[in-house]
Amino acid sequence: PLQVESWGYRRKARLGVRYVAKKEKVLVGFREKKSGFITNMSRCEVLHPSLGDNLEVLAEAIEKLSIKSQVPQLEVAVAENNTVLILRHLEPLTAKDEQILLDCANELDITFYTQSGGQDTVKPLDQPTVLTYSHPDHDIVMEFLPTDFTQVNFKLNQKMINLALDMLELNDEDEVIDLFCGLGNFTLPIAKHAKHVVGIEGDLGLIERAKYNAEKNAITNADFYKADLFKEVEGTEWFRGKTYNKALIDPARSGAIEIVELLPKLGVERLVYVSCNPATLARDTAKLIELGYKLDTAGVMDMFPQTAHVESIALFTK
């Protein structure tokens, strides 16, 4: 298995927050499985130390808020250059509340964002911050927003990308398609080694960030398109009349059965499939074999040490 350090790796998380009136105490921690209860935690060894070492300081700051009973959760996004906490609040923050959070941010060297409703209400409490992570082996720096999907384990992510590129055996004649590409996590490193790569993603915001990151990194042979890969795509600009000899798929837990069935029509001869759900990977593997692909190699990556979750990677050839 592909492995890195087992502690202090987690850079994305959702923490529950609860004010316990009887104890006049705020709890910050993970919700217990299949329950609304929050585990009382003073620290978390799995979270990045910028946050994992400071859960009690955070809880004490939230305890001072006038709306402490109206803060249900914190979203965590740790970049290489900053740590952002998105504070979900059900009632407006007062000016004093905002100052309490700013003081806490200064003490911990983090940045607070607030969220009063849906995703469109997320905003910086003070100045916005640019979050980055890098692909040092490919001389790429990625910018992202605190709400964007990114891999939780940056070091394992770097190893995973190198492994995927090795499995693809890229050369300067390759036309590659990256399905469920997000903000270009695989797409941009692929572009450095292929003739041309196309990234497809259903989230318009991520597509915009992918295009921005390509431009920022002076990558000119990558194109991105927004598309719902669970619906009809055969009439789209990137599908109709196009061929790609190599592909990478990195879907959500539900897998990619709909798009897998279309890979032969795209001319894909070599496919790397990255999966966070062994069950849907097994289902999609059966379909790929039915379509004439051969499972060449497969392995696991310990993306989430200390948990039961695992990331898988498989190579299919035709």
- Residues sharing a CB contact under 8 Å with residue 268, sequence separation 6 or more, in sequence order: 177, 244, 245, 246, 247, 318
Q: What are phi and psi of 178, to 5 degrees?
A: -115, 110
Separation CA 252–CA 87 (nearest Å): 25
Beta-bridge partners for 272: 248, 315
Q: Helices 55-63 & 95-108, crossing angle to 10 degrees?
A: 160
Q: Are 8 and 47 in contact (CB under 8 A)?
A: yes
Separation CA 102–CA 107 (nearest Å): 9
Q: Are 247 and 263 in contact (CB under 8 A)?
A: yes
Separation CA 280–CA 172 (nearest Å): 32
Separation CA 277–CA 252 (nearest Å): 8
Task: Assess whether 276 carries a catalytic annotation.
Answer: yes
Amino acid at site 248: L
Amino acid at site 201: E
What's the token pair of residue 164? Answer: 């995927």
Q: Choose the catalytic residue: 44, 104, 181, 276.
A: 276
What's the token pair of residue 15? Answer: 């923490």
* DSSP 3-state of 81: coil
Amino acid at site 69: S
Question: Catalytic site residues?
Answer: 276
